Amino acid sequence: MFPQRLDSTLAYAIAKAMMDGFNRHYRLFRTESARAQHRFETRDWLGQQRAQRERIEFYDLRVKECVMRLIKEFGADDQPMDVWEQVKLHYIGLLVNHHQPELAETFFNSVTTKILRRAYFQNDFIFVRPAVSTEYIENEEPSAKPTYRCYYPTAGTMQAEVLRFLQDLGLRVPFDDLERDAGLVLGAMKRHFDHVKLRANFQFQVLSGLFFRNKGAYVVGKIINGFQEVPFALPILHNIDGQLVVDAALFGEDDLLILFSFARATFMVDMEIPSAYVQFLRSLMPRKPRAEFYNALGLAKQGKTLFYRDFLSHMRHSTDKFRIAPGIKGMVMLVFDLPSFPFVFKVIKDFYPPQKDTTREQIRNKYLLVKQHDRVGRMADTLEFSEVGFPRDRFTDELIAEIQKFAPSQLEISDRDGDGTTEVILKHCYIERRMIPLNIHLQEAFDAGARAQIEHTVIEYGNAIKDLVAANIFPGDMLWKNFGITRHGKVVFYDYDEIEYITDCNFRRVPAPRTEEDEMSGEVWYTVRKHDVFPETFGPFLLGNPVVREVFMQHHADLLDAAFWQSHKERIAAGHVFDVFPYERDRRFLSHALA
């Protein structure tokens, strides 16, 4: 038995315990993010990758801790709804002057929905809409680091100001030649303002926190001149001597959209006020949804919350219906979409053809592997939802029949909330950015006789595979249909059920035939063990078209050679981390030998 308390006192105690749980979560999250600078400075690349993976688990662990505390100390799972109404009101009071109120609201939702029954998910006991504004939040402490710094160069002090904002980053490793790098950066910047008059408000605005990912640290900011604003990002890397170099200068929204792509791993950034970072980043990339900025900053649950709010808003303002997604149907995933919404929904089927030796749990583990891995711009990020409801009248009958046929265990159709509205409830689904399947894109290029588009597509396809190899990923099924192309022309992989680590594969050459009968036989005459891969056999499946084959062999013939794959496997197993650049190599300032 729990001691009887006044409802208000009990409600406040529960709200305070929930806020304590969130504050602990964000303190640990921020501490791990801040340590990224030390790992970068000491070139601890494997430690950086490990921290990226482990940080993803922080949120769920803290939610679980908080749920257990609330049940143990307050009997939260037995409290009546009038207590929970007061809990939320007290919690809103605790959000006043909080520096991460939007994240704390999402934490409240996560904890509450673990404790309350599903019937209460969509009512007043959670934050369906934000209760506290994130506009103009600032840390008023005198010692607090501002979200961004402003620099006001004149015609004669430009290089000095570039030098100053690079020095203000606080990196504790010397640059190879900081004066040289500042000059290179300024030279690249001048192409964006040298031909126009410098206005009274001419300035550089630079985010105070560095963005760490893989082997790089990125300075992010913008040039302001009159009404013109030019976003920029500067990647900082280590050269082979352990000194720092500014490797390139990226400018404009498109360059930054690629850097912050949904197909890349999250950044580690030390942020006191994440909403202020998101607001600044949105000024650089206004086409990118806020949800994706939170995802890019490692705050996936907040990204998921905002995505769902955007989705509900889209549903209120649209009338088209969910349909079976166009393209070749997958053997493992059932895919559907809403034509007016730029995402696809994927449900794991209940059964698979004999050649797919897998289970639902194995498939979910593959998607988790991708979530935790460095996606190097070549694997689409996914949002994972459970028990998600849709209005039945927004589904085509053909789609309902398809789900009933291939994934009946994942489907429920009912008036679950008792309000007379029939819902389609999916037990589990993945949601990811819609892309044009590569086989369709390639066929369109052939139909249009667009040789340049064909060449770009084939070269990009090979580049995508090589980037995945560098990240220790073997895609498994490399058919064109399992890749998509983004609006920036980047090829991205999105079929994960056969994905493996390169280091778990055994790359072999096809043995010479023992007899003439072996050579003429359509059957395999040699032993094939689990995880054996024969790269030279890829050609017949991928390169049937002579034009495709010509381009592929010119640029990526090494992908058909077991030695290419085996050499990468051996270097990765020895602890080497390959460089994978989120920009073209011709954008680099100098040909540094990188660490």
Residues with a known catalytic role: 381
Residue found under tokens 């050649």: 355
If 0-12 CB within 10 Å is exposed, 13-18 middle and 19+ buried, where does residue 336 land? buried
Say which residues have a Cβ less than 8 Å from residue 186's Cβ, sequence separation at least 6: 158, 159, 162
Q: What are phi and psi of 105, to 5 degrees?
A: -65, -45
- Contact of 262 with 292, CB cutoff 8 Å: yes
- Contact of 256 with 288, CB cutoff 8 Å: no
Give the span between the Cα atoms of 395 and 4, in whole angstroms.
Answer: 49
DSSP 169-197: T--SS-BS-HHHHHHHHHHHHHTTTTTSP
Alpha helices in 57-175 (DSSP H): 58-74, 81-95, 101-115, 158-167
Q: What are phi and psi of 375, to 5 degrees?
A: -85, 0
Give the span between the Cα atoms of 126 and 366, in whole angstroms.
Answer: 32
For helices 7-34 and 45-56, give the axis angle rounded to 10 degrees.
160
- 532 to 70, 119, 565: CA distances (angstroms): 50, 49, 12
Provide the CB-side half-sphere exposure for 169 (13 A, CA). Answer: 29
216, β-bridge pairs: 213
